[in-house]
A and B are shown apart, each in its own frame.
Chain A
Amino acid sequence: MDVIRRGILLAAAATLVPSYAAGQGSDTVKVGLILPLTGPFASTGRQIEAAARLYMAQNGSTVAGRKIELIVKDDTGTPDITKRIAQEMVNDKIAVLAGFGLTPLALAVAPIATQAKVPEIVMAAGSSMITEASPFIVRTSFTVAQSAAPMAEWATKNGIRKVVTIVTDYAPGIDAEKAFSEPFVKAGGKVDNVRVPLRNPDFAPFLQRAADEKPDALFVFVPAGVGAQLMKQYVERGLDKSGVRLIGPGDVTDDDILNDMGDVAMGAITTQFYSAAHPSPENKAYVEAFKKANKGMRPNFMSVGGYDGMHLIYEALKKTNGSTDGEKLVDAMKSMSWTSPRGPISIDPATRDIVQNIYVRKVEKVGGELYNVEFATIPNVKDPVKAAVAK
């Protein structure tokens, strides 16, 4: 019954909405921002909302003669709710859907975006396959593989031969494990893969197992938050002193919580696309404005996804002269490139996914606070999963 009803709704939406969306009658352009603002992933939502509002405060709310209205809704990180909100927004003549904190949330909305011909700007979720779910999806965040794969290259070059990976047993964790292990093994490295259950109270046994293998480095990917627990136990077990390096994609040393982790995080080497310590004038201005507008909260990698997502929407509207036709907007977004606080980025016209620099960073103390300090750059990295398929 529910399925049928949903089907009818979708069909209705599909026939009705494009005509509304394309209509130039009203002057406002509604942008719907769907984010997890409560629940375990609220940090992502808070960061992106703050960044989107900052962008609008800095760049005004009028583009190509039309007023931008930002509608922010909380989906608590539950796909059913994301889908319902997106459907309501589409019924309410939204021009662009944006946000999406997690992969299942972005995927839940994909069919709605396709049928209603509304661009879906993914500002956070990081599974490679997301952009393939709908021709209307454009991503301004990252893919997990994109930030994990360069680590294999760096590790090989820096004398790391044997690695134990510890990842949480869920889609992004497995993405990261694969993205790192495959190129690393190909380059002659040895890997032992350990997966940790998502609801895991204590990392002790997994870390002990890793320690007993005496690897050169420990590759870690766990959801933000429990990263701190893992780091602490890594130090408690004396792994740092026995010369086992901690490496991984930058999610573990998320700027939002890095300072609270304390000195245990020092020395961790990660690869990612954004650090609040990125040394560019654009970023300095961004971090300063962001902190000022949000009671000193430090922007993290999720926030730039939101900031650049708004930029993308603004620029696309300028290109279409204010037309909110979904296909025109997505076409305008393809192959767009600009300098973001994170560095130079562009949208790959073939995949609608982001192309960006990946930086190798080390956690250091700067002015009494912990930061990911970048020390090497791997330029213009495309999502390796889709790049491998295209070859």
Chain B
Amino acid sequence: MLTILFDGVAYGMLLFVLAVGLSVTLGLMNFVNLAHGAFAMAGGYVTVLLMSRFGVPFLACLPLAFLAAALLGAVLERTLYRRLYDRPHLDHVLFSIGLVFMAVAATDYAMGSQQQNIRLPSWLSGRLDVMGVGIGRYRAFLIATCGVLVVALQFVLSRTRFGVRLRAAVDDRRVARGLGIPVDRVFAVTFAVGSGLAGLGGAMGAEILGLDPTFPLKFMIYFLIVVTVGGTAGLVGPFVAALVLGIADVAGKYYVPSLGAFVIYTLMIAILLVRPQGLFARAR
């Protein structure tokens, strides 16, 4: 029972790291970025390449995956995304879904379509028994890392100058600009960090979720569920949503495996019926 809860929390945490960037771009910057998963995939492939070709240890790969995806995000934001900020949402969707297909095809061409595997260091594999509860080491590592990330992100957003500027820029771009806030730069940094987090999630998720060129399409639906259920007002919403969905998914598959695949969708529908704006969002 507790093992199930633990697995669910670990899975939820992973979902959160993967989706948080999307909730930032979607909720704060009001940009529908369906290509979010492509950045996660980039992070995953960076890790696989670094580990298998250059023998970089797993832990060192994680920040590199973050940086690579963030850099990719920054470049694309400067060259492509920013042109679309003021366009209608349909344009966002069409543009980013196109980007997804390009990413899938390009990865297939460059890396082949097979599943990529990473090999964890031995201290991260296996499991511990803590008071009768079996705990996978890697999942414990996931929870710890993601927990730290959540606190750090929340701190940055609510307590730092950058966070204040970002929230101001989102609330009213024109006024913020008038007050001398470099809205463009704030958005660029935010976008890059969001992409970087996706990359980090992809790198950490490769072990559990697998990694192949269709990754952005396969998991797009999960990201979107987390963001819709969580609401897009801040970080707490997606975080709680990711945890709830992670636990519900794992528990559902454990207790009723024949219906397991539907639990997450049923829950989403139920929550949205009660709170159409998401768990934590202000009503608009």
Please give, as numbers and ranges, the residues of chain B lying within 8 Å of A201 by CB-CB distance.
11, 208-210, 218-219, 222
Cross-interface CB contact of B260 among A39, A205, A229, cutoff 8 Å: A205
Q: Which B residues have a C-beta under 8 Å from some C-beta of A?
A: 3-4, 7, 11, 108, 112-115, 117, 119, 125-127, 134, 136-139, 207-210, 212, 214, 218-219, 222, 249-254, 257-258, 260-261
Q: Are A205 and B117 in contact (CB under 8 A)?
A: no
Please give, as numbers and ranges, the residues of chain B lying within 8 Å of A205 by CB-CB distance.
4, 7, 249-254, 257, 260
The 0/1 profile, CB within 8 Å of B marked 1, for residues 17-32 of chain A is 0000000000000000
Q: How far is the CB of B101 from chain A (nearest CB, A)?
A: 13
Task: Determine chain A's interface SS by DSSP, over half rule.
Answer: helix
Q: Are B3 and A208 in contact (CB under 8 A)?
A: yes
Please give, as numbers and ranges, the residues of chain A lying within 8 Å of B209 by CB-CB distance.
201-202, 229
Task: Determine chain B's interface SS by DSSP, over half rule.
Answer: helix
Q: How far is the CB of A301 from chain B (nearest CB, A)?
A: 15
Please give, as numbers and ranges, the residues of chain B lying within 8 Å of A42 by CB-CB distance.
108, 112-114
Answer yes or no: A174 CB below 8 A from chain B CBs.
no
Please give, as numbers and ranges, the residues of chain A lying within 8 Å of B134 by CB-CB distance.
237-238
Answer yes or no: A153 CB below 8 A from chain B CBs.
no
The 0/1 profile, CB within 8 Å of B marked 1, for residues 232-245 of chain A is 11011110000000
Whether A208 contacts B4 in the complex (CB less than 8 A), given A201-B222, A229-B208, comes out as: yes
Q: Are A204 and B257 in contact (CB under 8 A)?
A: no
Q: Are A236 and B127 in contact (CB under 8 A)?
A: yes
Residue of A nearest to B250 (CB): A205
Please give, as numbers and ranges, the residues of chain B lying within 8 Å of A232 by CB-CB distance.
125, 207
Q: How far is the CA of A39 from the CA of B258 in the complex (A)?
A: 28
Cross-interface CB contact of B253 among A199, A206, A228, A236, cutoff 8 Å: A206
Please give, as numbers and ranges, the residues of chain A lying within 8 Å of B207 by CB-CB distance.
232
Q: Are A209 and B125 in contact (CB under 8 A)?
A: no
Q: How far is the CB of A158 from chain B (nearest CB, A)?
A: 27
Whether A228 contacts B115 in the complex (CB less than 8 A), given A195-B258, A201-B219, comes out as: yes
Cross-interface CB contact of A206 among B11, B137, B138, B257, cutoff 8 Å: B257
Answer yes or no: A379 CB below 8 A from chain B CBs.
no
Residue of A nearest to B7 (CB): A204
Q: Are B114 and A43 in contact (CB under 8 A)?
A: yes
Q: How far is the CA of A236 from the CA of B124 in the complex (A)?
A: 9
Q: Are A40 and B214 in contact (CB under 8 A)?
A: yes
Task: Known pairs A43-B114, A202-B11, A257-B117; list 20 more (Cβ under 8 Å).
Answer: A42-B113, A196-B260, A197-B261, A201-B210, A201-B218, A202-B7, A202-B208, A204-B7, A204-B250, A205-B249, A208-B254, A209-B254, A226-B210, A229-B115, A229-B210, A235-B126, A236-B125, A236-B136, A262-B117, A262-B119
Q: How far is the CA of A195 from the CA of B7 in the complex (A)?
A: 19
Cross-interface CB contact of B113 among A40, A195, A206, A228, cutoff 8 Å: A40
**20 A-B contacts (beta carbon < 8 Å):** A40-B212, A42-B108, A43-B113, A43-B114, A194-B257, A196-B257, A200-B261, A204-B250, A205-B253, A206-B257, A206-B260, A226-B210, A228-B210, A236-B125, A236-B127, A237-B136, A238-B134, A256-B114, A260-B117, A261-B117
Q: How far is the CA of A43 from the CA of B115 in the complex (A)?
A: 10
Please give, as numbers and ranges, the residues of chain B lying within 8 Å of A261 by CB-CB distance.
117
Please give, as numbers and ranges, the residues of chain A lying within 8 Å of B117 by CB-CB distance.
228, 257, 260-262
Whether A226 contacts B260 in the complex (CB less than 8 A), given A205-B250, A236-B136, comes out as: no
Please give, as numbers and ranges, the residues of chain A lying within 8 Å of B136 by CB-CB distance.
236-237
* Most central of B4, B219, B251 by chain A CB within 10 Å: B4
Q: Which 6 A-B pairs have the closest CB atoms?
A: A205-B253, A197-B261, A225-B115, A205-B254, A42-B113, A204-B7
Please give, as numbers and ranges, the residues of chain B lying within 8 Å of A237 by CB-CB distance.
127, 134, 136
Q: How far is the CA of A204 from the CA of B127 in the complex (A)?
A: 13
Within A180-224, the residues touching B (CB, 8 Å) are 194-197, 199-202, 204-206, 208-209
* Most central of A40, A204, A235, A237 by chain B CB within 10 Å: A204
Please give, as numbers and ranges, the residues of chain B lying within 8 Å of A195 by CB-CB distance.
257-258
Q: How far is the CA of A238 from the CA of B136 in the complex (A)?
A: 9
